Amino acid sequence: DGGITQSPKYLFRKEGQNVTLSCEQNLNHDAMYWYRQDPGQGLRLIYYSQIVNDFQKGDIAEGYSVSREKKESFPLTVTSAQKNPTAFYLCASSLTGGDGPYNEQFFGPGTRLTVL
């Protein structure tokens, strides 16, 4: 059963701690993305990766870091430098990082991070 998974669904951390959110896909997609969503708002792009060992900053990358050592995995670390980390985090993948037909993004179920 192909898809994109994120774990855990809910995550609680103390202020000042780094935390890593997992994102795995078995769709053989080249491109992967991380978004942040705050209540009542749309999605904002944090980082994206078009290919293994390469990634680019999105619109709100400050306080976050990523790695793309394997095609199927794109973990996101929320560092202590992120001033307001409590949010809903969504991971997505697409066939390629470019565009064209049939290049829609597939989203995971999300991780809700709460920093206490």
Partner 1 sequence: DAKTTQPPSMDCAEGRAANLPCNHSTISGNEYVYWYRQIHSQGPQYIIHGLKNNETNEMASLIITEDRKSSTLILPHATLRDTAVYYCIVRGYTNAGKSTFGDGTTLTVKP
- Residues lying near partner 1 in the complex (CB under 8 A) are found at 31, 33, 35, 40-45, 48, 50, 56, 58-59, 88, 90, 92, 94, 96-101, 103-110, 112
In sequence order, which ranges of 1-116 are alpha helices (DSSP H)? Answer: none
Between 17 and 96, whose beta carbon lies closer to partner 1?
Answer: 96
State in angstroms the smallest separation of the CB of 42 from partner 1.
4
Comparing CB distances to partner 1, the nearer of 48 and 74 is: 48
**Minimum distance between the CB of residue 92 and partner 1, rounded to whole angstroms?**
8
Encoded tokens for 25: 């896909």
- Whole-number minimum distance, CB 46 to partner 1, in Å? 11
Compute the least distance from the CB of residue 7 to partner 1, in Å.
Answer: 13
